[in-house]
Amino acid sequence: MTSAEISAYIAAQPEARAQALTALHHFLADRITHAGVAAEDVMSYNMPGFRILSEPGRGSVLLGYAGWQAHLALYPHSGTILSQMTDLTHGMSQTRGALHLPIGTLPSEQIVDRMITLRLEELS
């Protein structure tokens, strides 16, 4: 059901945002696989994301993402992770818990890899 929910979430977006969200989903899935983390698609807080299947943090949401009118957002599901990444995210639009991305732009591999590492450390 979750994959269908994510597909419905993406399909409900305007075309450019839907294409950007699809690209972001595949990019994040690739980086999570590259990190050696077993994860599954999940809807959490009404947004798509990835839930950890293996230890540490089994069952915890690793990352979430969403489409907004003016940007995409990447959520590490933690209020402390982005503050530990200012060397990589300096000058990027963000809140305490979300990194904002221009529609059609993917984050760097380095940003996502650090986000995954920090989230796993937080959950262990």
Q: One-letter amino acid identity for 33?
A: T
- pLDDT class for 103, splitting at 50, 70, 90? very high
Total domains in the chain come to: 1
pLDDT at residue 56, rounded to an integer: 60
Stretch (H or E) spanning 114:
helix 109-123
Range of the domain at 97: 2-123
Residues 104-121, mean pLDDT to the nearest whole number: 95
- How far CA 21 is from CA of 56, 91, 107, in Å, comes to 27, 22, 12
Distance CA 34, CA 103 (A): 24
Q: What is the pTM of this model?
A: 0.92
Cβ 32 vs Cβ 50: under 8 Å:
yes
pLDDT at residue 124, rounded to an integer: 86
pLDDT at residue 118, rounded to an integer: 96
Using alpha carbons, select from 79, 62, 65 the residue that is nearest to residue 119: 62
Stretch (H or E) spanning 70:
none
pLDDT at residue 55, rounded to an integer: 67
Residues 97-115, mean pLDDT to the nearest whole number: 95
Token readout for 94 is 């963000």
CATH code (residue 86)? 3.90.1150.200
Distinct helix (H) and strand (E) counts, the chain: 4, 5
pLDDT at residue 54, rounded to an integer: 76
pLDDT in tens, 13-63: 999 999 999 999 999 999 999 999 999 999 998 999 999 987 665 689 999
CA torsion angle for 32, 37, 40, 46 (degrees, to 10)?
Answer: -60
pLDDT in tens, 74-91: 999 999 999 999 999 999
Stretch (H or E) spanning 27:
helix 15-34
